[in-house]
Amino acid sequence: MSHDLALVDTWASSGKSLWHRASALSKLAFVALVLGTILTTHSLPYLLALYAGLCVVVLWARVPLGAAVMLSLYPVLFSSLYLLSRWDGTWQLPALLLLRSLSSSLLAVLLVGTTPYPDLFAPIARVTPRLVGDGLFLTYRAFFGLIARADRMWIALKLRGGLSGRGLPRDFRSAGEGLGQLVVHSYDRSQRLYAIMHIRGHSGRVCGCRHWAEFGAEDLVPILCGTLLVLARFWLEAR
Amino acid sequence: MTHLHIADGVLPVWLWLSGLAIAALCAGVASYLHRHDRADRLTLLASLCAVMLAAMSVPIGPLGHLSFAPMVGILLGPGLGFLAALLVNGTLALLGHGGLTVVGLNTCVLGAATMSARPAYMLLRRGLAPGRAGALAAIAALLFSVAALCVVIALANRAGAPGAALDPEHDLPGGVATGRFVLLSSPFWVIAIAAEALVTSSVLSFLARVRPELLP
């Protein structure tokens, strides 16, 4: 999990493709358009074509396709129990739910893989209460402050025999002690961050990024792609 | 394992829309109640959400991982605990780890654990040491969360699968599908709740030793 977040952040902040240069707002509109289509279609050929189309867009955005697809497989793994419980003996229903899950998760990975988090959270912060908007931004920031320490701690615990990796009760007690240290560290870090915010004249809102609404010619790319994918649905379903 | 990781397009539209509405309402109320908090509560909320994300790297078997929700709920209380569930699920959804549309339902299920943990802990703390009280509070909070998850699944199954339009004759009765889900998930829930209780107890014992002022 922690490495996935770090990986996606690297893609978003170091990419230079057309998709990276497009504003967050146009990419959010693209996601809304395509997600709406995914949720309302029952056509398996369309969903297959859409998934293939999204893979092409991921390649176009120069996001590593293999890693992005692996990330988008998470919900399949976790939804398996629900799909098994709903299985009616036919293959259409699992295929439909599976393709919907895969497409929507790849869509989410495409969005975060091409949009740096301050740009992505800025429009969200505008429509949510302060604690939620600023909380999202600060959580992301705090996570990257914690990730290296957490990694070092897990490695140290494994090397010293604290974690056997077999899910024994002793493993969870050791993990608990390690997490306790992370809690203490996080508490101290949060106090330090508050002091820094106070010194810098914190005005009540954290996120002041305005790049999310800076429109350019690149914004036509997500809008046109989204429209094309929606039109393709009507064309395929009309045949 | 106790919280939903079902992706977009699996649950009926009215259900995830209701989940979003309930989560927005609860988040609005929590934000209103905490509007005069000092900014260090915001930084603490963010830091503990980050720990929650880091804790999710600890696997419980092949399909599950720690959620750390009861522990964060005990430290933050019900209001900020619910907001922590929302922030963590929002971050996870943007990674494709759970759907964008089911953020509301995911938050309600995980929020059930974070909201109920502190009251249960305070009740149990009267007669028990922090570690034991924490373990029992974690079990109570996660059972509450599992109950919320079962309600969501039962409601979803009652409405029929979104893909049932493909072949209505083959659609399973809601009760059968819910029963199957509970049967398939129960072993994972038992293991996850036991692991979470052990971790919560261990963290609370550790904090009681080194930084007792952090405990409620």
Beta bridge partners of B64: B60
Cα–Cα distance for residue pair A215/A222, rounded to 1 Å:
12
Cβ separation of B39 and A194 shorter than 8 Å? yes
Cβ A5–B7 below 8 Å, yes or no? no
In a domain, B193, yes or no: yes
Q: What is the DSSP string of A158-179?
A: HHTTS--SS--HHHHHHHHHHH
- Tell me: the pLDDT tens digits for A54-85? 999 999 999 999 888 888 777 776 677 777 88
Each residue's pLDDT tens digit, B35-72: 888 777 888 898 899 999 888 877 676 667 788 999 99
Q: Does A164 touch chain B (CB under 8 A)?
A: no
**What pLDDT band is residue B2 in, cutting at 50, 70 and 90?**
low
User: Which CATH number goes with the domain that contains B20?
Assistant: 1.10.1760.20
Q: Which residues of A touch B211 (CB under 8 A)?
A: 184, 187
How much is the pTM?
0.88
Task: Give Cβ neighbours of residue B195 (< 8 Å, ≥ 6 apart).
Answer: A167, A172, B60, B66
Residue A214, CA distances (Å) to A15, A61, A108, A117, A196 in order: 18, 19, 21, 15, 29
Q: Residue A42: its pLDDT value, please?
A: 87
Q: Which of A1, A27, A77, A184 to mutate to probe the B interface, most B CBs <10 Å?
A: A1
- What count of CB pairs under 8 Å joins A to B? 292
Q: Name the residue in chain A with its Cα closest to that of B59.
A: A167
How do residues A195-238 score in pLDDT, each as one tens digit?
887 788 766 666 556 666 777 888 899 999 999 998 988 888 77
The pLDDT of residue B43 is 84
Residue ranges covered by each domain of chain A: 2-115+215-238, 122-211
> B61 by DSSP, 3-state: which?
coil
Chain-chain contact of A179 with B71 (C-beta, under 8 angstroms): yes
Lowest mean pLDDT among A18-27, A106-115, A162-171: A162-171
Domain containing residue B88: 13-162+172-214
Summarize the confidence of residues A110-128 as an average pLDDT: 85
CB contact set of B125 (below 8 Å; sequence gap of 6+): B133
* Tokens at B110, concatenated: 């995980």
Number of domains in chain B: 1
Q: Return the CA Rg of chain B.
A: 18
B162 — pLDDT class (breaks 50, 70, 90) = low
Query: What integer pLDDT is reported at residue B76 of this predicted model?
Result: 93
* Nearest CB partner across the interface for B7, out of A75, A167, A177: A75
pLDDT in tens, A39-58: 888 888 899 999 999 999 99
**Minimum mean pLDDT range among A9-13, A90-94, B52-56, B146-150:** A90-94
A 189-228 → B contacts, CB under 8 A: 189-191, 193-194, 197-198, 202
Please name the member of A78, A138, A180 whose beta carbon is closest to the beta carbon of B5. A78
Task: Locate the chain B residue with the closest alpha carbon to A187.
Answer: B44
Closest among B97, B34, B107, B28 to B69, alpha carbons compared: B107
- Asked whether the beta carbons of residue B97 and residue A74 sit closer than 8 angstroms, the reply is yes
Per-window interface: A 68-87 vs B, CB < 8 A: 71-72, 74-87
Tell me the chain A residues in contact with residue B184 when contact means C-beta distances shorter than 8 Å: 81, 84-85
